[in-house]
Structure 1
């Protein structure tokens, strides 16, 4: 008995519904005839599902094809704001939050300067931000699927607790603390994992890759078969703590010479009012100090990339705050990486990120969106 014959009628019906929604999501403006051809389904099956999805407010008519001589052939698209999700990027001095729709598009965003503290005032502010995002986007509260928090720490498998949080000194902080004034479902995510998830959403054809987050701290995420792989002990891909110089300065983790010391964004902007925009402005003008800092930065980054290429031999995506500026310098970095590589192979798979703004916050929200779509 083949797999098709082993499915119950209810399972087949559910699969058809899910596939029809997905093909509309991926092909906005598609007609029912095109859906039927794409999925090898009968027109009545497609029409029945379209009727159900439309009545539920998930799908809508978005246009019509030319005169076909009979019944008008409508085209369909999803209702993007039928469901939404909120994501946070929590850092030492700032809170960034976004509300996204079913397409993963940002509908509203808020960024404020506020030092992280495990206080009632801080957690109350998070709740207020969620309310402001919903109001600004003009969506119904009932549309919100959940709230994700991207944080600089290692997270338990159930996404409920930080078990290593030296950067913000918040070991053992729980989802319950963050959600104290939030009435929606929630989850905690490592910041690099969240950013990688957002990047993967913009690269749907990318099956395997390593994401390097070059922000105020350096993180990493390994994407395998389209999923973030966290390892047996949930510590995988922590590229920020490979040793670049065993005699180097001590890292916050307790070891010496970690990549985080040499490749965090703060290495570049600390002498420029904590502004990467100012640093890169001076770099473009050829300022001697900025050029010297940048050359040393690229040398260290090339060493780390060489390790990744030797171990994984997969696309390496540079993201985070620095990754957003790398387009103009990627060839220079590739050349340095190629000189360190043991084999004759171009570093063309060292890439710049596509998701350059609010990647952590968007990625933390996207997990709720993708889970919902998978269950339709």
Structure 2
């Protein structure tokens, strides 16, 4: 192939990518708008739109209001052209979700299934994944991959769990799952997956600290629009910050870790009931005892947020299982207690609350393959 031919192919690929990426960002647009904003010729844009439509990547869906001439077609990507599967592995269950190219969760499910580091466990989980795909009638070629978020710090190559004291899954390897699945597979720490989802939803944030308020507490740090991993992959493990050296015993072997005060498990233990019942009684019955338990929880959370904010001057994102239960009054309470003894005030506008609840790590994991696909077009 001549150098000129190679150049022409490269230019066509670049133009195709530019047009698709533009439509993806705008969500809905017109041919003329693409021509104007990308400063491309009408024939070039038309050719790329035709090719993208033929490939099934974009579609016309209605018309824009007329401005005096012929109505322009409304153009958008086909958001379910490809699907990514996300799995959130927990000690006694796992979450499963399918997301489209915009990261919208099309389906979610929770499957009670205690973890055990045995071939039978991995075989049964992957059978459930294949059953989930079949039940939702996804063609095999639509599946980008299966991404697994687990409670455990992974190796830099995401092939192995290096630290998994919660589930006793230290040594879990990606191949435990991938050998049974006909799709690409990926393994990630659940906190990092959650942070990826929050970053996806808040692309305007350059930096942030994520508090993953799941059954076990987790955390992550976002810097320069990237999730900070650290030299040993344990950046953001705020759950093991000691807030009371004489406090309760943590699964890590130390006492008084934030995990023992601010995980959903710790809140359930303090309340003596499950989370759903706790918040139902807290909000509806105004129980003084439950109100005090919740205030104690928020006080410990604020203490940690205040100290972390002194080290990382960035917004805070409350994410995970407990996030949907937070009200404006709770954020105001947190802000007040963060600022009461801090030399640098944190505005409540700098505290964001996630909306995907317990499925946050699974959805965030699924976005790994979505992100790859979008940037490869």
Give the TM-score category using the shorter length: over 0.9
2:260 corresponding residue in structure 1: 261
Give the superposed CA RMSD.
Answer: 2.1
Shift of 1:102: 0.9
1:82 corresponding residue in structure 2: 81
2:104 corresponding residue in structure 1: 105
Distance of aligned partners of 1:323 and 1:189 in 2 relative to their CA distance in 1, 3 Å threshold: same
CA distance in 2, matches of 1:200, 1:304: 21
Distance of aligned partners of 1:66 and 1:338 in 2 relative to their CA distance in 1, 3 Å threshold: closer
Distance of aligned partners of 1:70 and 1:348 in 2 relative to their CA distance in 1, 3 Å threshold: closer
Distance of aligned partners of 1:12 and 1:311 in 2 relative to their CA distance in 1, 3 Å threshold: farther
Q: Mapping of 1:1-376 within 5 angstroms?
A: 8-65=7-64, 73-270=72-269, 275-284=274-283, 285-328=285-328, 329-376=330-377
Distance of aligned partners of 1:354 and 1:111 in 2 relative to their CA distance in 1, 3 Å threshold: closer
Shift of 1:234: 1.0
CA distance in 1, matches of 2:67, 2:239: 60
User: Is this contact kept in 2: 1:303–1:340, CA < 8 A?
Assistant: no
Gaps of 5+ in 2: 1-5
Aligned residue for 1:80, secondary structure, equals coil
Aligned residue for 2:327, secondary structure, equals helix
CA distance in 1, matches of 2:149, 2:223: 20
CA distance in 2, matches of 1:251, 1:70: 69
CA distance in 1, matches of 2:103, 2:97: 11
Shift of 1:23: 1.7
Gaps of 5+ in 1: 1-6
User: Is this contact kept in 2: 1:108–1:136, CA < 8 A?
Assistant: no
Deviates more, 1:305-314 or 1:220-229: 220-229
Deviates more, 1:181-190 or 1:269-278: 269-278
CA distance in 1, matches of 2:124, 2:174: 15
CA distance in 1, matches of 2:105, 2:272: 29
CA offsets 1:95-129 (integer angstroms, 9 cap, x no match): 11001111211222221111111223321222222
Shift of 1:66: 5.4
Aligned residue for 1:249, secondary structure, equals coil
User: Is this contact kept in 2: 1:266–1:274, CA < 8 A?
Assistant: no
User: Is this contact kept in 2: 1:215–1:320, CA < 8 A?
Assistant: yes
User: Is this contact kept in 1: 2:213–2:323, CA < 8 A?
Assistant: yes
Aligned residue for 2:259, secondary structure, equals helix
User: Is this contact kept in 2: 1:108–1:133, CA < 8 A?
Assistant: no
Aligned residue for 1:20, secondary structure, equals helix
Give the number of aligned pairs: 370
Deviates more, 1:156-165 or 1:250-259: 250-259
CA distance in 2, matches of 1:353, 1:228: 17
User: Is this contact kept in 1: 2:306–2:338, CA < 8 A?
Assistant: yes
User: Is this contact kept in 2: 1:218–1:240, CA < 8 A?
Assistant: yes
CA offsets 1:66-89 (integer angstroms, 9 cap, x no match): 568887632211111211110001
2:3 corresponding residue in structure 1: none
CA offsets 1:251-298 (integer angstroms, 9 cap, x no match): 111222111111110122236675211111121222233122212211
User: Is this contact kept in 2: 1:97–1:109, CA < 8 A?
Assistant: yes
Aligned residue for 1:30, secondary structure, equals coil
User: Is this contact kept in 2: 1:104–1:362, CA < 8 A?
Assistant: yes
CA distance in 2, matches of 1:70, 1:295: 61
In the superposition, the TM-score normalised over structure 1's length comes to: 0.92
Distance of aligned partners of 1:157 and 1:10 in 2 relative to their CA distance in 1, 3 Å threshold: farther
CA offsets 1:309-350 (integer angstroms, 9 cap, x no match): 101111001111122211241111111111131235545412
CA distance in 1, matches of 2:346, 2:272: 39
CA offsets 1:220-268 (integer angstroms, 9 cap, x no match): 1111222211112111011001110122222111222111111110122
Aligned residue for 1:62, secondary structure, equals strand
CA distance in 1, matches of 2:370, 2:345: 42
